[in-house]
A and B are shown apart, each in its own frame.
Chain A
Amino acid sequence: MISINWATRVITVPKAFLTPIGGSVYTLDTDAFRLALKDIEDSVEGMAFPVTHRHNTAATLGGVTYARLIEIINGYTVTFEDDFSHYAVSLIGSNNNIADVANVNHVSIRTNNAAGLIEVATGGGGTDPTVALVLKLLRNKQVTDPATGTLTVFDDDGVTPLVSGDLFEDAAGSQRYRGQGAERRERLG
């Protein structure tokens, strides 16, 4: 059975808890796994310790059932029994972070997480620096300088140069831009 070392917060999964599917490949029913953890959590001993994971059950939206989500939390890690046979474990039945918190040994772990709609940080000049830079490159003031033959993109204040790159009149890059049209621009940096 599943066991937890409360002192080290290591969850140990014995090989017998896995289902063989041929060769040296096994599956771990992650729902059965988390129910086993829950069973330990509400034991006399387990009540004194933080919960091992967070669980959001499967949900049906518009006729499509989205998989349950299991997240190991509170610093717990997972160790699969290492018998040095180099077997592989496929995690089935949920999107989870078990592979992220697994302790490295001779057991291979195959995750089956699948993302449909995901959330990313967005917003004008928002928290994602990459998105903020892209917005500046698309929107901010640009100057093509015939004296230096460069293209410069300025920061939001319109004064501070943000990135700059060489600009050429010909595609071959032999004649720098002189105010007579440009065919080539080097990487901005």
Chain B
Amino acid sequence: MTAILPNPRYTIAPSGTRKNAPSLGGVSLGAAALPTDPLFYTTLELQNVVVGSRYRVTRASDGTELATGVAADTTVTLSSIPVYTNPMSVAINVRKASSDPYYKPFLTFASLVRTGASAYILQSVD
């Protein structure tokens, strides 16, 4: 069925569930969370990273990649990491082997909660 909406006006207002609830010409348009949506987003801090190292953060349970990049500083702050369970275990892989000095691959784990988490990266020279 085709609905004809005269003079449609589109508005977005906070709903009772803290989600934005758009309204179109008096008709509410809802957005429901899917079971696969993250519970929340949080911050993961990697400390003591050798500058130039490549890091990769994955969900420990299924290997889903959450973040990746090259460390520009000894502290790497990864914001907006999606968290699907509370707490959620993540695997942190850090490697630096493209230029001297070379480091052994480093793997550690962290538990992400609503307040985030930090991990100390202890790389050793290869």
Contact = CB atoms under 8 A, between A and B. Distances in A.
A106 interface: no
B62 interface: no
A42 B126 contact: no
Contacts of B47: none
Contacts of B97: 35, 38-39, 41-42
B63 to A, nearest CB: 8
B65 A42 contact: no
8 interchain residue pairs of minimum CB distance: A38-B97, A42-B95, A47-B56, A42-B97, A42-B54, A39-B98, A51-B105, A42-B98
Contacts of A55: 104, 126
Interface residues of A, number: 12
Contacts of A38: 95, 97-98, 102, 126
Majority DSSP secondary structure for residues of B touching A: strand
A48 B95 CA distance: 11
Query: Chain A CB within 10 Å — which of B93, B97, B102, B104 has the most?
Result: B97
A38 B101 CA distance: 12
A57 B126 contact: yes
A159 interface: no
Contacts of A48: 56, 65
B51 to A, nearest CB: 14
Given A55-B104, A55-B126, 14 more contacts: A35-B97, A38-B95, A38-B126, A41-B105, A42-B54, A42-B95, A43-B54, A47-B54, A47-B56, A47-B95, A48-B56, A48-B65, A51-B95, A57-B126
Contacts of A120: none
A23 to B, nearest CB: 34
A138 interface: no
A178 B102 CA distance: 75
B59 interface: no
A44 interface: yes
A79 B95 CA distance: 25
Contacts of A51: 95, 105
Nearest to A42: B95
A47 B68 contact: yes
23 contacts: A38-B97, A38-B98, A38-B102, A39-B97, A39-B98, A41-B95, A42-B53, A42-B54, A42-B96, A42-B97, A42-B98, A43-B54, A43-B98, A44-B54, A44-B68, A47-B54, A47-B56, A47-B68, A47-B95, A48-B56, A51-B105, A55-B104, A57-B126
A43 B95 CA distance: 9
Contacts of A43: 54, 98
A39 B100 CA distance: 11
